[in-house]
Structure 1
């Protein structure tokens, strides 16, 4: 299976770096395991940082909180976007400086805000007046940015209305933050997960820029623009190479926002997804009836043990089997649990070799993001996803 790279839009496939494959070839696994190559993380960080230029790269810890990944990124000078006290504690315990961490979740426990403030973190997100009240009470004088809701997105997986507020509320929240003694420094937004080409950001940036300029016209001296995540990974459809992608996004940002004092970006998936491979096993291949057009292939990993992003079949993982190159046919792919929702691909069946059978080892490529962090703790007695970093 392959990943796409190139100077602009990738048009050819190259093998996953040999260090990872060499490790897989000599290692036995007795349960589903995610193997992360931290060298690939470092390479992707360097490429994105070159493309982002002067923008600060805040790794979205939720994408993969493996200690080895966080430690490697700290060594490279990365900043971090944390969604919880646990993620803040993780970063600090490995040597991250508090000034490099933003508390980016707009839904925070008051005691966790107080903890972050005591730890030296000064930058917080909000999208509601009561959240600003909590921040003012527990982190007096903190810098805050207001998260905007995105109505226009070309992402494969647009985000819901759970986060962000509209233009009028955003302007009111800037005023409220100032009245509470906070420092309202700017806005944030998220273009949507897996926005495959940088050009797909244009409509969202147009929408966000109108609010930005309205706030400035209203007298707010904004200094921070947080463009969030959305940086893509390869799941079968062409994507731009990371450096070219990030540079393209920054050109679009500059054209609409001008010379912003500080820009933040929060790659998660685009930074770690292609560094990881899940090793799993086929448990059963079967038909439901003599008339069944498709085989059912059951793996020992499913939606509750790491593959939650198959929800809606939005993310199409890349599978490698011992029988690749032999005749293949469509199959419905499912996990091992006793839950009828534990089906990975059914609306668009996955083409896998007809020779596939129970006991075969299967590699799921580009699974370094949102797998271990989504893995449940023992649903149906199945163990959570193991993680090995090299």
Structure 2
């Protein structure tokens, strides 16, 4: 049941019956953790499971991974080998560094890159972009980015991008006058969407834009439904709920007979649940009753814990996501232990480095481990070494059965 390293690989293959959690516990209890540094374990098998789930549940939609969500090399290499890399202009260097044959397209606006590195496909949502493209890249295949309702998303994107439905006809007319080829429509309902009906509304709006283009003699062939899919089991909605809504909307507005190609750009869906963090308590403070604000809080002491990772590291998404951090205590406390109101802080000198508060947990000690699940999306990709603290090491693992499956599909990822 012991893990073994693959030859010339960043990935550790887990033997039958050995899980990513087992691997994490082995590191915690091993001799190599004398300094008790924080570390991450990334389960590539979880990523593959998510892919197979997507293909089964949304059979008409081809998913392309959004690298901006998590650009760790083994993740990108795996999905690139599976031909599921999505396009982002800031990631052009991946095709050189990874020696991969990536298909690059620019699925956001505005675009301002040299002609010689331009993709054929780019998005636009305003006249200025159309004029710029007509002058600098007249052979581009343009995709009109439609404004979507993202009020129920964790991170809203349409405050920055997207054309309202009311101006789409004008934009299509302008594109025709400039002889710019518009081949499709895209939209994004926001990262971490919690309302499946938003997809249905956006797909219906996209159908109207297709009809506008048809009336102008322009034939569109591509619909990009973006991302926003839930990436964890504790999300407000399930992936299956979202998929059912999308499938019904596509059957209504874009039936297979239409010949329109449907693609998507999942990011957090693939990687959110694949990463887990182990961090150590490096300091502790007890707030006794005299220090507490308000007599009502004076009955019990409050606990303050500092761990060796924080919002400048694996919790960097805390800057733009309001998510509830739920630590798992590695050493299970006994039921008789009293519960205290506790807060959790990172290691830096910044007063903003607060990970969680109002945690009702037993008293912990310096040296104890805390585990955190679902930290794969928009975490390490936005992390820094602020205050001189190094980022946690990432251990990439893959279950043996996943490796066998990939090899049977001729995927050379490990």
Asked whether 1:332 is paired with 2:343, we answer: yes
- Determine the structure 2 residue equivalent to 1:110: 113
- Determine the structure 2 residue equivalent to 1:251: 248
CA contact (8 A) 1:126 1:144 kept: yes
Matches of 1:329 and 1:207, distance apart in 2: 51
Relative to structure 2, which stretch is displaced further, 307-316 or 199-208? 199-208
- Determine the structure 2 residue equivalent to 1:356: 364
- Determine the structure 1 residue equivalent to 2:149: 151
Asked whether 1:88 is paired with 2:92, we answer: yes
Q: 1:209 to 1:317 in 2, by over 3 A?
A: farther
Q: CA deviation at 1:162?
A: 1.3
| TM-score (normalizing by structure 1) | 0.81
- Determine the structure 2 residue equivalent to 1:48: 54
Asked whether 1:65 is paired with 2:71, we answer: yes
Q: 1:83 to 1:320 in 2, by over 3 A?
A: farther
Relative to structure 2, which stretch is displaced further, 183-192 or 122-131? 122-131
Relative to structure 2, which stretch is displaced further, 211-220 or 74-83? 211-220
- Determine the structure 2 residue equivalent to 1:101: 104
Unpaired stretches in structure 1, ≥5 consecutive residues: 1-16
| Correspondence for 1:374 among 365, 371, 382 | 382
Matches of 1:286 and 1:213, distance apart in 2: 64
Asked whether 1:177 is paired with 2:175, we answer: yes
CA contact (8 A) 2:173 2:216 kept: no
Relative to structure 2, which stretch is displaced further, 146-155 or 208-217? 208-217
Q: What's the secondary structure of 2:306's corresponding residue?
A: strand
Aligned residues: 361
Q: 1:322 to 1:101 in 2, by over 3 A?
A: same
Matches of 1:202 and 1:386, distance apart in 2: 41
Q: How does 1:174-213 map to 2 (within 5 A)?
A: 174-196=172-194, 198-199=196-197, 201-213=199-211
CA contact (8 A) 2:63 2:264 kept: yes
Per-residue CA distance 1:210-231 (angstroms, 9 max, x = gap): 4454444454422211110001
Matches of 1:360 and 1:204, distance apart in 2: 48
Q: What's the secondary structure of 1:65's corresponding residue?
A: coil
Q: What's the secondary structure of 1:163's corresponding residue?
A: coil
CA contact (8 A) 1:235 1:315 kept: no
Supply the RMSD in Å over aligned alpha carbons.
2.9
Matches of 2:277 and 2:137, distance apart in 1: 41
Q: CA deviation at 1:365?
A: 0.5
Q: How does 1:287-302 map to 2 (within 5 A)?
A: 287-288=286-287, 290=289, 291=292, 293=297, 294-302=302-310
Relative to structure 2, which stretch is displaced further, 288-297 or 265-274? 288-297
Per-residue CA distance 1:72-122 (angstroms, 9 max, x = gap): 1122232423241xx122145435444x332223133323xx3533xxx32
Asked whether 1:341 is paired with 2:352, we answer: yes
Q: CA deviation at 1:336?
A: 2.1
| TM-score (normalizing by structure 2) | 0.77
